[in-house]
Structure 1
Amino acid sequence: MLKIVAYEGQYKNIFRDLNLAWLQHFFYVEEKDHELLNESDTHILEKGGFIFIGLWNQKPVSCYALLKLEEGIFELGKMAVDENHQGLQIGQRMLTHAIELAKGNQWKKIILYSSTKLNPALHIYRKHGFKEILLEGNSPYTRSDIKMELIV
C-alpha cells in the first residue's frame, strides 16, 4: 500500500539516495543534481517548492519534487522509485499526486525536463496530459533532450 507524505528532515538521505541510484543507472550525476539533492532545503523548499516521499508499507521507496519557477508554475523533477518497487505503478501514483496538488492550488502549469531514452516515462507523462514544448538552449540538465508541460 502506497502512502504519499510531505518531506521531513528524516527523509533527506532517502531523497538523495533514490535519485542518485536512478541517475547513475540511466545517466550520470550533474552539478545541478548535486545542488538539489545535497541542499534540498535551500534549493527546493525554501524557494517555495515541495518534496514528497512515497511510503510502501511504511518504507520510503519513492519521491518527487516540485520546484517553484514563478507564481503558479512549478517544475516536476527528482522523481524516483526504488528499483525493487518498480512495476507497481508507484511512479504513476506519484505523478497523479503532483497533478492533484497543482489543481488544488490552482497553479497555471507544471513543466518537466526528460530524455527521449526514457520511453516508459514519456508515455506516462503523455497519458496524464503533458505535451512536448520547445526545449530552450540553456536547459538545466545536459541529459535532457525533451521538455513537456501540463496546463493545469
Structure 2
Amino acid sequence: MIEIKSFQPEYREAFKQLNLHWIEKYFKVEDPDIKALTHPEEYILEKGGEIFTALYKKEPVGVVAIIKVDDTTYELAKMAVAENHQGKSISNYLIQACIAYAKDHKARKIILYTNSSLKPAIHLYKKFGFTEHPIENNQYDRADIYMTLDL
C-alpha cells in the first residue's frame, strides 16, 4: 500500500536523490534544480508550496513538489519515482495530492514544464486534464512543453 506524506525533514534526501537520478538519466542538472533540491524549505515550502513523498512499506519511493507561483497558480514540479516502483500508479497518487493541495489553497490553475521525450509523463498529465500551451517563462533548458490544468 502506498502512503502519501507531506514534507518531513527525514524525506529531504529522498526528494533530492530521486530527482537527481531521473534528471541525470535523461538530461543535465541545472541551477534551479540544485537550488530547489538542496534547499527545499527555502525554495518551495517557505513560499507556500508543499513536497509530497510516496512511501511503500515506510520507504520513500516517489516525490513531487507543488510550488506556489502566485495567489491563484501553483506549479507541479520535481516529480520522480524510483525505477523499481514505476508502473504502480505512484505518480497518480502524487498528482492527486498536488491537485488537492492546490484546490485547498484556492488555486485556479496548476502549471508544469516538461520535455517532449517524456511520453509516459505527458500521457499521465493529459489523463489528469492538463493541456499543452506555447511555452512561457521557462526556467529550464530541458523543458520544451508547457501544460496547464484549470481547477
Contact preservation (8 Å) 2:30, 2:140 = yes
How is 1:35-114 mapped onto 2 (pairs within 5 angstroms)? 35-114=35-114
CA-based RMSD of the aligned residues comes to 1.0
Distance in 2 (alpha carbons) for counterparts of 1:10 and 1:127: 32
Report the AA paired with residue 51 of structure 2. Answer: I
Report the AA paired with residue 106 of structure 2. Answer: Q
Contact preservation (8 Å) 2:109, 2:149 = yes
Name segments (4+ residues, structure 1) moved above 3 Å. Answer: none
Report the TM-score, using the length of structure 2 for normalisation.
0.96
How is 1:10-25 mapped onto 2 (pairs within 5 angstroms)? 10-25=10-25
1:26 alignment counterpart: 26
Distance in 1 (alpha carbons) for counterparts of 2:39 and 2:22: 18
Q: What is the CA deviation profile of residues 45-88 of structure 1, one whole-angstrom value per residue up to 9, with x for unaligned ones?
A: 11111101100111111000011110021000000001111111
1:8 alignment counterpart: 8
SS state at 1:139 partner: coil
Which residues of structure 1 form unaligned runs of 5+?
Answer: none
Contact preservation (8 Å) 2:52, 2:97 = no
Report the TM-score, using the length of structure 1 for normalisation.
0.95
Calculate percent identity across the aligned residue pairs: 42
